[in-house]
Amino acid sequence: MARTRITIFFMGLVLWCCLTKAEYMKYKDPKQAVHVRTRDLLDRMTLEEKIGQMVQIERSVASADVMNKYFIGSVLSGGGSAPSPQASPEAWINMINDFQKGSLATRMQIPMIYGIDAVHGNNNVYKATIFPHNIGLGATRHYMLLRDPKLVKKIGAATALESRATGIPYVFAPCIAVCRDPRWGRCYESYSEDPHLVDAMTEIVPGLQGDIPAKSSKGIPFVAGNKNVAACAKHYVGDGGTTMGINENNTVINWHDLLSIHMPGYYTSIIKGVSTVMVSYSSWNGVKMHANRDLVTGFLKNKLRFRGFVISDWEGIDRITYPPHANYTYSIQAAIGCGIDMVMVPYNYSSFISELTFLVKNNFIPMSRIDDAVKRILRVKFAMGLFENPLADNSLVDQLGSQEHRELAREAVRKSLVLLKNGHSADQPLLPLPKKTSKILVAGSHADNLGYQCGGWTIEWQGFSGNDLTNGTTVLTAIKNTVDSITNVVHEENPDPKFVKSNNFSYAIVVIGEHPYVETKGDSMNLTIPEPGPTTIRNVCGALKCVVILMSGRPVVIEPDIDSMDALVAAWLPGSEGHGVADVLFGDYGFSGKLPRTWFKTVDQLPMNVGDPHYDPLFPFGFGLTTEPTKAY
């Protein structure tokens, strides 16, 4: 009897030890290496849990219950998608944490990752600092480097802080497209037509994510901490080279040119530890990128040894077929088979999960492909520290729209401005303008319109018009704050010739340009300035000395009107800090920007890029007049 009790005791002790040992899960131990944690967690997961990790849904259909039921791996805000109009940072944090609590209540407690299009600041969010769009940043110049990657890195760090201020740890940026045709509606999301300049601007990646430690393995995703965010290099690959610049079109180019023009930014981003890569809607020589196994798995993953995860674009797999969603089962098989790891299925997630589960269970997609995808997603989540700090707090809310960030944006604006014309002769420049004079006219549709000034991807997906949807300083307000107190600033948006001639103005500032647009809605075959811009130029510049401030996402047709202008400034899409324009206009700082794109004479010349045999620009790549700062009135 005693021996039996002893036997039972030892059996119980062994069982207790086994249970105690089983409770230790390596993936929950931050002291373990990332690859050990990833392997341990992957081995514990069911197929249902794995497929859930591969899904990214839109916040409008997300809830704690949905996250919990489907094991959803990620949530995003589409363009303009917010918890409420003018939502506070706290409202964003509470919404995201609510979704996260649903994920943390699952069996394996795998945190979800929340993503947003922070392409020029945390641009969906009310009161965020809106930086110049990438084309403007491509115009910034350092006197030695001919570019200013340090400025871009600071902007990345500021964007990371403003994203974290709202609880968001993942941004779909940077866009490292090389726009080869300004007719493309996304050209302003590209830093330049020149791959070397785009490559230099990948310094925004360590700005967003933090500097990768010395001697780190190349290709491993890296995020320094909770003041940084996971970045996303996009759109892989060749999205800026489509025929006639048509969005989502076909890029017809040989292998050598694909590598030399469109790929360098990806090499460098991967070396700098970029966490994710987004696949392009476009095709390469007729093959949809969302189904291109040779480029996604063969080159990006195997050749470049990228170890982060590959994400689709919004409903990108649906567009593998034409019409979209025509054969969804085939599209899923093609996309997952080509190497896409996380799929942006904003609304149709239950159907996607069901179809993918069927394809795996019936051996159309091997389990090894699912494991590769989930391993990559988990690797990024571990690298971000999400398992240790899954919930956001309010500690960074004061970073949103901070004065420090607005000053940085103001600096970026003044460095991005390109002076294309200054006087009708070199010895009689118009700029800088005097601050002290009797009366000046400020005209044009863009002079007092913050939405126009910021462009697309601002608060709303397609941008907005007016001054009510976020905070910032318009060019008109900046001018009024800069000139001498005795100077009378008269604002008339579209003055007629009689008004112009009868008011005895000293000079005029005309601020005109494109209206906001995003993606396909911005495709343009004529690239003309919309009315009343040209009419305003003719009414004003025909009667007064005038400087035209042109706000556009790309070069546009400016002949023959340029002859009537005394000065012309390409201001691109400067964002929320209009003071940066006034800083340079009135001589507190000198003009230093250089064209990141060739400025064509007529659209018939397009596509035309520096180095082309038929190169005959109005203003060549790298052109930009300079002025010296002056405090004189």
Q: Crossing angle of helices 149-164/403-416, nearest 10°?
A: 150
The runs of H, that is alpha helices, within 385-422 are 403-416
- CA-nearest of 244, 123, 240, 263 to 177 is 240
The helix or strand, by DSSP H or E, that contains position 236, with its residue range, turns out to be strand 232-236
The helix or strand, by DSSP H or E, that contains position 271, with its residue range, turns out to be helix 264-271
Beta-sheet strands, E only, within 413-565: 418-422, 439-443, 488-492, 507-513, 546-551
CA-CA distance, 167 to 402, in Å (whole number)?
16
Burial class (CB in 10 A: 0-12, 13-18, 19+), 484: exposed
Place of tokens 């003071």: 579
DSSP code per residue over 47-101: HHHHHHHTEEEEGGG--HHHHHHHT--EEEE-TT--SSTT--HHHHHHHHHHHHH
CA-CA distance, 624 to 569, in Å (whole number)?
9
CA-CA distance, 191 to 536, in Å (whole number)?
30
Report angle CA 380, 385, 389 to the nearest 5 degrees. 135
DSSP helix/strand/coil, 210: coil
Q: Is 628 a catalytic residue?
A: no
- CA-nearest of 51, 518, 64 to 314 is 518
Do strands 418-422 and 567-570 pair parallel, antiparallel, or not at all (unpaired)?
antiparallel
Question: Cis ω on the peptide bond leading into residue 614 (within 30° of 0)?
Answer: no
Task: Compute the CA torsion angle 159, 195, 186, 335 (nearest 10 deg).
Answer: -90
- CA-nearest of 129, 55, 67 to 96 is 67
Q: Which residues make beta-bridge pairs with 488?
A: 439
- CA-nearest of 201, 208, 376 to 306 is 376
Place of tokens 């996309």: 335
Q: Is 313 a catalytic residue?
A: yes
Q: Tell me, rounded to whole angstroms, the distance of Cα 622 from its chain centroid.
A: 24
Catalytic residue among 194, 372, 514, 519: 519
Q: Does residue 41 contact residue 27 with C-beta atoms inside 8 Å?
A: yes
DSSP helix/strand/coil, 413: helix
Q: Does residue 349 contact residue 59 with C-beta atoms inside 8 Å?
A: no
Do strands 250-251 and 276-279 pair parallel, antiparallel, or not at all (unpaired)?
unpaired
Catalytic residue among 203, 239, 313, 523: 313
Terminal Cα distance for the chain, rounded: 107
Count other Cβ atoms within 10 Å, centred on residue 68.
Answer: 18
CA-CA distance, 575 to 473, in Å (whole number)?
9
Cα Rg for the chain, rounded, in angstroms?
Answer: 27
Q: Does residue 170 contact residue 118 with C-beta atoms inside 8 Å?
A: no
Please give the single-letter amino acid code of residue 96.
Answer: I
Enzyme catalytic residues? 313, 519
